[in-house]
Structure 1
Amino acid sequence: MPERKTIEKAKQDKRQGKSASTQAGEFVKEQIHHVREGRHGVRSTKQAIAIGLSEARRSGVDLPAPKPGRASAKTRAKAEQDVRKGDEAPHKKSATRSRATKTALKREGKSGASKSALAAHAKTAAKRRSAADRSAAARKAARTKGAAGRSAAAKKAARTRAANRHA
């Protein structure tokens, strides 16, 4: 069950006109936080993200299931189920099932939410995207940054280039 604070942040993102994936990011962030504070574990970074996306869909975030070919049939079916649950009126959850899930997650490790694990996951996810895709995302980010942000980013890029030249 997502915390009220997380749902509020997602609603605020929606009011500000941010994308569904940004709204869902709040739920993913919450899961990472739960693992780090020891509330439960995860087998991998991917599992923490999957739990967060599932909670987002069930909380009514307008995040569609992945298109065929982008994820396994099982993953798509689960995402579609979550979307349907998000459209329904809330009902009482099974305490037995909820407890079983939590117990199973408690047996898992905490390293899936470590900074290095998240960085490795981000790197592999980026590698799967085309150069044009990544470039378009960077251009869009630059547009929303503002003048001061762009200036700071340009200075940082210059420092990175200089550091890599000497390496």
Structure 2
Amino acid sequence: MPQTTPRQRKTMGRVMHEFEHGELKSGRGGKGGKVKSRRQAIAIALNEAGASKFESERENRKHLARTERKEARGATAQQEKEGRSHVGAHGRRESSRAMGGEEARHRTAKGKRAARARSRASGPTYDELYDRARREHIAGRSKMSKQQLKNALHH
């Protein structure tokens, strides 16, 4: 079985989340009732993600495309439960951590260089400002952002 893509892993994670919270249902339209078996939940997750070793490549692609449409529509049990239905990137990549979008925790190498350039252009670093604030006994400095430290030191 080939390696799964980030999108497939995200889908599998969502399905398993639904199972753990008792929201995963089997059968067409969920008419088969709640899934109680972990093995069945894993089988459903692999099927929805298009990563099943028992399906053809074409079937897997078809299943993944259907799941992407479902997630974009906001029709998953998780989205409906969390009140996020109809808030999808319809037909486009979502902005989740798995997809490297807005909510991603890591920066790219290019982003790191750009951030470093911006910080240098704007004067001293956060650590330098914090050291000055400590020497001047500015209260609440540990909770301040770089801009707040700058403002506090200028007064």
TM-score (norm 2): 0.27
TM-score (norm 1): 0.26
Higher Rg of the two aligned structures? 2
Indicate the structure whose relative CO is greater, using CA pairs within 8 Å and at least 6 residues apart: 1
